[in-house]
Amino acid sequence: MRKFLIFDCDGTLVESEYWCQHGLELKFRDYGINISTEELIKRFKGIKLDLILKEISQQFSTSFADNFEVEYRALVADLLTQHIEPCPGVLHALEQLKFPMSVASNGPHSKTLRSLQLTGLDSYFEQHIFSAYDVQAWKPDPRLFLHAATQMSAQASECIVIEDSLVGVEAALKAGMHCIYYDPQSLGFKSSQVTIINHMNQLVEAVTKI
């Protein structure tokens, strides 16, 4: 079987999920909303920003300024520049994986590219960096992964998605692709349809067995 690998970015390739959610915590404080970064990760990992703001707006009966997203993106860009790192073991895994690879993220293309550049991972993916904004379809919608497959001239059945969010897993399965769920916190997710790893040093073996 030919194999094409499609990676999520935040929390899968780079340790950015915490800082993305921490940026939300800081911005929400401006509106008198106090939610910890840890709670935001638990509730909204991998979720589109618009949906997060809609839910928080309803929960706290508030509305956000039109420039909220612009200010939030700028804040996160600063946080990532200061703190972002590759996920443990990911660089070694990418060095060993000799398959066509791409990145497919719910985040904006500019943010994803910047995260990969800051961590030195961009060279592994060449021009194959895709955003949900490119296709106006966000995970768990499968269209982003199907778009990535098309751009790599791959069939869905030849693709292996590596994800750290359940919405990403759902999107991969809906797309008819194999899926490896990266669960560094060992949260206990189980599925007969998904391969589960807890560290990126397990990735190469997991890909080999598919």
Structural domain boundaries of the chain? 4-14+85-209, 17-83
Strand order in the sheet with 129-131: 129-131, 101-105, 4-7, 159-163, 178-182, 195-197
What's the pLDDT band for 63 if we cut at 50, 70, 90? very high
What is the rounded average pLDDT for all residues in the chain? 95
> Is CATH 1.10.150.240 the right assignment for the domain spanning 17-83?
yes
Token output for 204? 């190469």
Q: What is the mean pLDDT of residues 42-70?
A: 94
Task: Indicate which residues carry an active-site annotation.
Answer: 8
Contact 200, 93 (CB under 8 A): yes
Q: Does 126 score more than 90 pLDDT?
A: no
Q: List CB contacts of 176: < 8 A, sequence separation 6 or more.
A: 142, 156, 157
Contact 23, 52 (CB under 8 A): no
Instruction: Kindly report the CATH number that applies to the domain delimited by 4-14+85-209.
Output: 3.40.50.1000
The Cα 44–Cα 154 span in angstroms is 30
